[in-house]
Amino acid sequence: VNSNIPLKPNPDELDIKSSKFYNRIELGNMLKNEKNVDHSKKIWKTILNTDILSLSEKKIEQPYENKNSVTLFIGRFQPLHHGHIYVLKNILKLYKKVKIGIGSSQFSHTLNDPFSSEERKKFVHAALKKRDISSKQYEILDIPDIFNAKKWVDHVISIVGEFNSVFSNSDWVRELFSNKGITVEKKITIFKKKFNGNYIRKLMIKNDRKWRNLVPKEVIELIEDFEGIKRIKSLYEKKNNP
């Protein structure tokens, strides 16, 4: 601010002679004057000790941070693969935090959903930790199926709370959220046919080690700890040889 800008205050309210904009040096000198009112000096001191520029920067940044603060990403993670990691890393370039929904969380030990909710959470935690993604940047929540498309979005919201948008590569999920007026972000995809849980489980059943190239090493170790391959093969045998 130009401290020499002339002011025209009401002479009945203010001392015309001393009413002006003061620069930092002038204000600092006034603090040394014992005749000035203590309360006024306290205010001036606060002003001098405040980084005015940082206040204006915060005001500019705040709307952007609020707009892109929290988003939602739902997956079944049966198992978690490099496609999921690719999506999550790209989401966190745009958003401060992602709420990760474990879809069909009530199911486990079935051919389509061999891993339990707790096992899938461990997949996510291990993979994100390995990539130095702070636990403050994500939250994992169980989202059980209710088999009611009309109520499903409200069901999800009741579990995950507030969020600004949704990421999903499922056309069905995208349509349901869009119909509720919720912002649905653009799809983030990478080799969809290859990075696919169903495809990976089929490779496991066939003893095709190519599946190991599609899943993070730390997740492979957990699958082996859970005896996941043995479980999937057993479930396949039961379904095809009852």
Let me know if residue 60 belongs to a domain: no
Q: Indicate if 6 and 111 belong to the same structural domain.
A: no
Best CA proximity match to 223, nearest among 236, 210, 211: 211
Q: Indicate if 85 and 171 belong to the same structural domain.
A: yes
- For residues 71 and 98, the answer to whether their CB atoms sit within 8 Å is yes
Q: How many domains does the chain have?
A: 2
pLDDT beyond 50 at 37:
yes
Q: Indicate if 155 and 191 belong to the same structural domain.
A: yes
What's the pLDDT band for 56 if we cut at 50, 70, 90?
very low
What's the pLDDT band for 64 if we cut at 50, 70, 90?
very low
Taking the model in full, what pTM does it have?
A: 0.72
Q: Indicate if 220 and 105 belong to the same structural domain.
A: yes
**Percent of the residues in the chain that have a pLDDT greater than 90, as a whole number:** 67
Dist. CA 138–CA 149, nearest whole Å:
26
Let me know if residue 55 belongs to a domain: no
pLDDT beyond 70 at 231:
yes
The parent domain of residue 105 ranges over: 72-240
Region 99-110: mean pLDDT is 98
Q: What is the CATH number of the domain that holds 175?
A: 3.40.50.620
Over residues 4-21, the pLDDT tens digits come to 556 565 565 555 566 666
- For residues 169 and 188, the answer to whether their CB atoms sit within 8 Å is yes
Let me know if residue 220 belongs to a domain: yes
Q: Indicate if 189 and 99 belong to the same structural domain.
A: yes
Q: Indicate if 96 and 36 belong to the same structural domain.
A: no
Q: Indicate if 37 and 95 belong to the same structural domain.
A: no
Q: Token match 């082996």: residue?
A: 224
- For residues 104 and 76, the answer to whether their CB atoms sit within 8 Å is yes
Q: Indicate if 40 and 76 belong to the same structural domain.
A: no
Q: Indicate if 45 and 78 belong to the same structural domain.
A: no
Let me know if residue 42 belongs to a domain: yes
Let me know if residue 57 belongs to a domain: no
Q: Indicate if 150 and 213 belong to the same structural domain.
A: yes
Dist. CA 144–CA 150, nearest whole Å:
15
Bridging pattern class, strands 70-75 and 97-103:
parallel
Q: Indicate if 122 and 33 belong to the same structural domain.
A: no
The four Cα atoms 18, 20, 22, 26 give a dihedral, to 10 degrees, of: -20
Q: Indicate if 82 and 196 belong to the same structural domain.
A: yes
